[in-house]
Structure 1
Amino acid sequence: MQAGERRDTDVQHEDQLPPAAVLFDALGADYEKAFAHAPAHLAALEWLIGSLPPAARTLDVGSGTGRPTAAALVEAGHSVLGVDVSPVMAELAARQVPEAEFRCADIRELPLEPASFDGVCVFFSLLQMARAEQSALMRRLALALKPGGHLVLATVPADVEDIEVVFMGLPVRATSFAEADVVAMVEAAGLTVLSRHALTFTPDHPGAGPEPHLFLHCRRDENGH
């Protein structure tokens, strides 16, 4: 498969798309403008890139527009598989970062080979999933990492389940965990949390307000546990 080529074969109608796809189809490039220059996101990317071996294989879960995450990884000499449930985002990313491979797919359903990635990024891509789905996905992502591989996770830490919130002016249903429970979920998946960073960030968008953000820098231990 060539870099940047999409593998999805059927374009879904909006009423068939999962809620996250509908939301991010609507946001499109506005999402990149709002979040692409977030200092903590860029710092997490810098940490991951500094932790990767040369020419690493990386997975970007919820790859959005491809920037800044996939673009930074490609620029550092790594290969990237970006997965996003939004057809609009996958198309935009393929145009903006043609050196990477992007698939329009639901990460919950995408087969992942064990120990096949050196690095995994999960930037704010769990919030439209049920708690059990988030936990199950983290276990799958941990198994997809090579022993010694690294994962960065960013989320909005909050003890909420299937509540309606307004995100960048659009209504969306969201589910998350309190900070301690996010850490516990990641550790239960078989990852070691090397560091955590909690902060408040206001996206660059008229419909956005301040959000609590949590970044976790994690590693799958060499013994695979």
Structure 2
Amino acid sequence: MTDDQQRPHPGAAFDALGAEYEKAFAGSRTHRRSLEWLLGRLAPGSRVLDVGSGTGRPTAETLATAGHDVLGVDISPVMVELAARQVPAATFRCADIDDVPLEDASFDAVCVYFSLLQLDRREQTELVGRLARVLKPGGYLVLATVPLDVEGVDAVFMGQPVRVTSFTAQALATVVEEAGLEVVAEEATLFTPAHPDARPEPHLFLHCRRPVATAPDA
């Protein structure tokens, strides 16, 4: 059996959790501050990509309610069904983000809230690079993760088996910068999901911007 065959399917845990995931993380004030940060910088009617959109709350709902054009992509059909029902003002696709055709410089913002953790480091690095390219110059990428130095660790998340990989805060900032983005702001916190099987976990929010290219001197 190959390692890929042994690795839990990324969507399986979230199919099982469904709305319980939303309830567990609804109390994250840091997540809401992050969305407020982004909302304060977007022009009216901006196009936003939400990678790992989950139940649609709070990210897609907050952005769509503010009048932005939101595309959410999630690998879990249960999550996508919930999101489509809860946030009809946004568009959702059930797919692996790697299989979704995305044009370069086609989004004003990209949100990646805790959706990298079941990818290996190569996959995370490649995805961040791709998402940086789909941003318009001057666009924003907001990324949240659990900043730990772990790779391919089998764990139990809210009662569900997962395999987790992450970067330290400094290493993740390097990944972002090497993708051509600048880290404008960041916030680190400790959060305990509202679930009996949950434990306190560190959260890191990076708020990044794709620089606007300047014309070379004549």
TM over 0.5: yes
Q: SS of 2:16's equivalent? A: helix
Give me the whole-angstrom Cα distance separating, in 1, the residues matched to 2:142 and 2:106: 16
**What per-residue deviation string (whole Å, max 9, x for no partner) do you get for residues 173-197 of structure 1?**
1000111001000111111000111
Find out whether 1:57 has 2:47 as its counterpart.
Answer: yes
| 22, 27, 37: which one aligns with 2:17 | 27
Match of 2:155 in 1: 165
Normalising by structure 1, what TM-score? 0.90
Amino acid paired to 1:72 = T
Q: CA deviation at 1:86?
A: 0.2
Which sections of structure 1, spanning at least 5 residues, go unmatched?
1-14
Q: Alignment RMSD, CA only?
A: 1.4
* In 2, Cα distance between equivalents of 1:101 and 1:139: 24
Contact 2:181 2:209 in 1 (8 A): yes
**Contact 2:54–2:80 (Cα < 8 Å) also in 1:** yes
Partner of 1:86: 76
SS, match of residue 138 in structure 2:
strand
Counterpart CA distance in 1 for 2:208 and 2:126 is 17
> Unpaired runs of 5+ in structure 2?
none
* Aligned counterparts, 1:113-152, within 5 A: 113-152=103-142
Give the Cα separation in 2 of the matches to 1:188 and 1:110: 23
Hey, what does 1:99 align to over in structure 2?
89
Corresponding residue for residue 155 of structure 1:
145
- In the TM superposition, structure 1's runs of 4+ consecutive aligned residues that sit over 6 Å from their partners are none
Deviates more, 1:148-157 or 1:167-176: 167-176
TM value normalised by structure 2: 0.93
Identity %: 64
Q: Which residue matches 2:210? A: 220
